Amino acid sequence: THSWDRETIQLVLNLMPKETVLFIADVRINFDTFRNGMTATVNSKTIITVNPDTREASLLFNYVKEAAETGVLEEEEKPEDMPGSITDVYTVNQLKQKALDVPELFFGVIYSFISKFDVDSSVSKVIRTRCTKCKYQVSDDLQSCTNDLCPGRGQGLSAATGFDLFVDLSDHTGTLQGCSLRSPVAEKMLDCTVKEFTSMTDDERTDLKWKYLLERCKIYVKIFPPSKMRTGVKGIILGCSLADPGEVKYLQKH
């Protein structure tokens, strides 16, 4: 190996995925049949700048930071995300502790109360529209995505509107704040579509809120540990229903 290879390998090993912006000049781009995608090869002329002080780099950094905090990029449907396969039961404190001890995402079930559930606040805090290409929040009357880094920029806007709110989950051990509750999980839980929700009266939304607020629920979550981009543990709700009292009693005894 060449010295630049060793230097590059050392550099890359020290980078955290989704936390560093790289500006790379002079690389060879080839199609790699083994990986079935484009790959970049460095050589002696390649210059790699970590977190360059440019407008593009700061836009990219802010975009990834926002995406990390909301968890929007972590949500591609994967078969292992199906609640049926999630069986490990935790308390809120156990979830938080595991996220700190094991720095990788995991799944779990908690029987907890929904201690913050603002479905009766302004609709803009419950329903959001995002560009389908980059998940950036946009307003659906726009002609194109407002994210400068969107891969679909310049093309017509392709956007999806859905439930997109934050809820707090509490039990006797603590509270997990700001868990993401989004479509299609929210539709199933609330038993109403986005369209039905937007045409509800304030009273109907308040009823919907009290159907779940402070009720014990069985909640399937996907948990992300804290990272440089995200302070605190992040939870994404994959399924939520009112808990069966018999099931809760059984758990408390065992």
Q: Which residues bind Zn ion (CB under 5 A)?
A: 131, 133-134, 136, 145, 147, 150
Q: Which is nearer to Zn ion, 65 or 133 (CB)?
A: 133
- How far apart CA 83 and CA 22 sit, in angstroms, is 37
Q: Which residues contact 17 (CB under 8 A, 6 or more apart)?
A: none
Cβ 183 to Zn ion, closest distance in Å? 18
Residue 105: what are its φ and ψ, rounded to 5°?
A: -70, 150
Q: Which is nearer to Zn ion, 67 or 114 (CB)?
A: 67
Q: Which is nearer to Zn ion, 138 or 179 (CB)?
A: 138
Q: Which is nearer to Zn ion, 4 or 61 (CB)?
A: 61
- How far apart CA 11 and CA 228 sit, in angstroms, is 18
- How far apart CA 187 and CA 208 sit, in angstroms, is 12
Cβ 225 to Zn ion, closest distance in Å? 27
Q: Which is nearer to Zn ion, 136 or 163 (CB)?
A: 136
Residue-by-residue DSSP string for 121-138: S-GGGTEEEEETTT--B-
Cβ 148 to Zn ion, closest distance in Å? 9
Cβ 166 to Zn ion, closest distance in Å? 22
Would you give the end-to-end CA distance of the chain in angstroms?
58
Cβ 134 to Zn ion, closest distance in Å? 3
Cβ 132 to Zn ion, closest distance in Å? 8
Q: Which is nearer to Zn ion, 30 or 62 (CB)?
A: 62
**51, 112, 166, 219, 254 from 171: Cα distances, Å:** 41, 5, 17, 12, 17
